[in-house]
Amino acid sequence: MFENASRTEISSLGEFGLIQHLTKNFMLKNNTLKGVGDDAAVITPTEGHKTVVSTDLLVEGVHFDLSYFPMKHLGYKAVVVNLSDIYAMNATPKQITVSLAMSSRFSLEAVEELYTGIQLACEHYQVDLIGGDTSSSKQGLMISVTAIGEAKEEALAYRSGAKENELLVVSGDLGGAYCGYQLLEREKRVYLDNPSVQPDLVGFDYIIERQLKPEARKDIIEILKNLNIQPTSMMDVSDGLASECFHLAKASGVGITLYEEKIPIDPSTYNFARELDLDPTLCALSGGEDYELLFTIKQEDFSKLEHHADFSIIGFVNEATAGMHMISKSGNKHPLQAQGWTAF
Amino acid sequence: MFENASRTEISSLGEFGLIQHLTKNFMLKNNTLKGVGDDAAVITPTEGHKTVVSTDLLVEGVHFDLSYFPMKHLGYKAVVVNLSDIYAMNATPKQITVSLAMSSRFSLEAVEELYTGIQLACEHYQVDLIGGDTSSSKQGLMISVTAIGEAKEEALAYRSGAKENELLVVSGDLGGAYCGYQLLEREKRVYLDNPSVQPDLVGFDYIIERQLKPEARKDIIEILKNLNIQPTSMMDVSDGLASECFHLAKASGVGITLYEEKIPIDPSTYNFARELDLDPTLCALSGGEDYELLFTIKQEDFSKLEHHADFSIIGFVNEATAGMHMISKSGNKHPLQAQGWTAF
């Protein structure tokens, strides 16, 4: 589905020609002294700042399905999921490297589409592409991205900083990316059964976008800074809210209580989940890929976020012995289950 | 061949358990503030230094053949090829990230072997493993490594700094890794034809080691510093001397003249090449994977390296219009061909 009408074999360019060709339109905007083209890239670290590094791998058939994932969106998403990790440290991403392994089934045009998406993300988030490697593979497409960012030490938000009685906050809404995935998988099955049936995606633009074109919450980092809020701990929601709560609690040596009614779920997520007989709360708890930010704040910062549309205060931090719980809409207390998606 | 007697499925650990399990014995030695375990790693950049970043991808069936490449050696080599790029900037590597994609054919024991090799390299080169990602793949093993290092700006050696009349120098010897590869491939074919035949590797330890356990030339960087030599340009020899000469010449806007008789070739490389009716010089020019350092120096530094066993002065820098040539042992001038190995 991703093949264009014209097809150029990648082998016609060679490895060095390919990298040069794909990266020629990328401009350097940050503290990058030397980008693609030498043995290594060179960065001038900002004085008094820490360097923050994150890396992620996207594998065809495991993390994405090219029968409905456009190459441009895939390139964009591969960058975004890495930047999200840098923002989750309360840091600012500055550079990325992108390595690709791909089989001969991929044409140059397909890889150009992928790089168009990578470039869009670089422009939107103001990061520099500084290096990478390309290789053939026996089967499929694999994208490895490393993101490098900066922050002052006192701004850094680790997973380990949550303290008893602090408030648990999440940005945006949850469960949408998972429902978008379910919708795309459903339409794929329908299409495979009968290719003449057009996909029925009407009214579900939002959840499809959550899956195919997620954004990293750069804006949230800026809002927190403007509100003068230093998160005591933070991480991004890539594997589902429940799983992330467990990570945060374990790293901080605390327990967490969630309020089901406070978990932000978009109406289209809610409606689609109901259509599929799924529990919308479970989609938020276990769905993953929302790339929202989950963080804890001191009680004194409550009023700054209380009525802010971008944030939901969804729970609070207990002592470790109190464990992990969710208070349901009916007021019952349930043990929280970690059911985050894993790649194995 | 890489499977151990006992076999544990990776899926029994889950993704987070796996990373934790594999990295638990790694110690942080450098300016790493936070390693594996958060959304991102945190580094304290050394004041007044530049940060140097390089990334490489190794794909099964393209870059390595597990029928004769032990997993431990593969882990070691995956790190070394990246560190080599950092040294090639005249910089010191400090951190690495390692991402893996692997099919269910790989047992936990096999991946542990790989990480044993990674750890050996980290210890030998004094670098910190600070992050990574693991994923399943539909087929085969893929390793993506990013290396981060540091150098003072005035020490950095780019490919672009070579000037007319400077001398071209290479460390160690060339062609060995390629001959080791040819030997291992030959013995594999013999084994596949008749599994009862024992491999005939006697006397070829050196070239096998060059292929299976290459080293990055950390020592060369130190020697140059002690000799007070600032290379005017530098790169590592990963794709064969000829190809690297072309890269250096293009980046610097110069031409290069090589002397065939000066190209360093180990006797066991020479003997094996002859046994296979290969031209030893061609093995050095086009073989690749030697991970030696190729660099240019000013004429005034000639006497410092002239009699040094670790270096060979193999040519000089021309003006660009003079082009790329090699003076053969018989004194004839031949145009140099770029025949470096490429991954496509």
User: What is the least distance, in Å, from the CA of B327 to any CA of chain A?
Assistant: 27
Please identify every stretch of chain B with a pLDDT value under 50, giving residue numbers as ranges.
1-4, 340-344
Strands, E, within A244-327: which ranges?
Answer: 254-259, 292-297, 311-319, 324-327
> Is B342 strand, coil or helix?
coil
Q: What is the pLDDT of residues A141-174, one digit of tens each?
A: 999 999 999 999 999 999 999 999 999 999 999 9
Q: Judge whether A5 lies within some domain.
A: no
Residue B5's pLDDT is 58
Q: Which residues pair with B36 in a beta bridge?
A: B38
**Which of B139, B155, B171 finishes a domain?**
B155
Q: Give the residue from A118, A136, A155 where a domain finishes.
A: A155
| Same domain membership, residue A139 and residue A24 | yes
A197 plus A297 within the same structural domain: yes
Structure pTM?
0.94
**Are both B136 and B173 inside the same structural domain?**
no
Confirm whether B101 is domain-assigned: yes
Q: Interface pTM (ipTM) of the complex?
A: 0.93
The CATH number covering residue A331 comes to 3.90.650.10
The C-alpha atoms of residue B188 and residue B181 are separated, in whole angstroms, by 10
User: What pLDDT is recorded for position A7?
Assistant: 87
- Same domain membership, residue B244 and residue B126: no
Altogether, the residues listed in chain A come to a count of: 344
Element (H, E) at B114: helix B108-125
On whether residue A219 sits in a domain, the answer given is yes
Residues of B in contact with A135 (CB under 8 A): 57, 59, 62-63, 343
Structural domain includes residue B91 = yes
pLDDT given for residue A10 in this prediction: 84
Chain centroid to Cα A221, Å, comes to 15
Return residues 57-86 of A near B (CB < 8 Å): 57, 59-63, 85-86
Same domain membership, residue B150 and residue B32: yes
Count of A–B CB contacts within 8 Å? Answer: 228
What value, to the nearest 5°, has the Cα angle with vertex A232 and ends A229 and A234? 100
Host domain of residue B196: 159-208+216-335
Q: Are residues A178 and A291 in the same domain?
A: yes
Q: Tell whether B328 lies on the interface with A, counting CB pairs under 8 A.
A: no
Residues B240 and B91 in one domain: no
Q: What is the mean pLDDT of residues A179-201?
A: 88
A130 plus A173 within the same structural domain: no
**Domain ends where: A155, A176, A206?**
A155
User: DSSP letters along B126-164, please?
Assistant: T-EEEEEEEEE-SSSEEEEEEEEEEEEGGG---GGG--T
Q: Give the distance, in angstroms, between the CA of residue B144 and the centroid of all CA atoms in the same chain.
A: 14
Is residue A280 domain-shared with residue A293, that is, in the same domain? yes
How far is A89 from A80, CA to CA, in rounded Å?
15
Q: Does a structural domain hold residue B4?
A: no
B144 in any annotated domain: yes
Any CB–CB contact under 8 A between B20 and chain A? no
Q: Is B154 on the interface with A (CB under 8 A)?
A: no
User: Is A181 in contact with A209 (CB distance < 8 Å)?
Assistant: no
Task: Give the model's confidence band at A15: pLDDT under 50 very low, under 70 low, under 90 confident, else very high.
Answer: low
The answer to whether residue B6 is domain-embedded is no
Cα atoms in the 13 Å half-sphere on the side-chain side of A179: 33
Give Cα A157 to chain centroid, integer Å: 17
Q: How far apart are the first and last CA of chain B?
A: 27
CA distance B238 to A308: 54
Tokens 């693991």 belong to B134
What does the alpha-carbon distance between residue B241 and residue B283 come to, in Å, rounded to a whole number?
Answer: 9
Answer whether B238's CB lies under 8 Å from B170's CB: no
pLDDT tier, A13 (very low <50, low <70, confident <90, very high otherwise):
confident
**Residue A342 belongs to some domain of the structure:** no
Residue-averaged pLDDT of chain A: 93
User: Mutation test of the interface with chain A: which of B12, B53, B145, choosing the one with the most A Cβ atoms within 10 A?
Assistant: B53
B179 to chain A nearest CA, in Å? 22
Whether B223 and B305 map to the same domain: the answer is: yes
- A30 vs B: CB within 8 A: no
**Statement to judge: residues B131 and B183 lie in one domain:** no
CATH assignment at residue A73: 3.30.1330.10
Please tell me whether residues A149 and A96 are part of one structural domain: yes
What is residue A93's predicted lDDT score, i.e. its pLDDT? 98
* Whole-number pLDDT of residue A343: 35
What gap in Å lies between CA A321 and CA A253, rounded to an integer?
Answer: 9
Structurally, how many domains does chain B consist of?
2
Using the beta-carbon criterion (under 8 Å), do B99 and A41 form an inter-chain contact?
A: no
Flag whether residue B133 sits within 8 Å of chain A, measured between CB atoms: yes
pLDDT at position A340 is 41
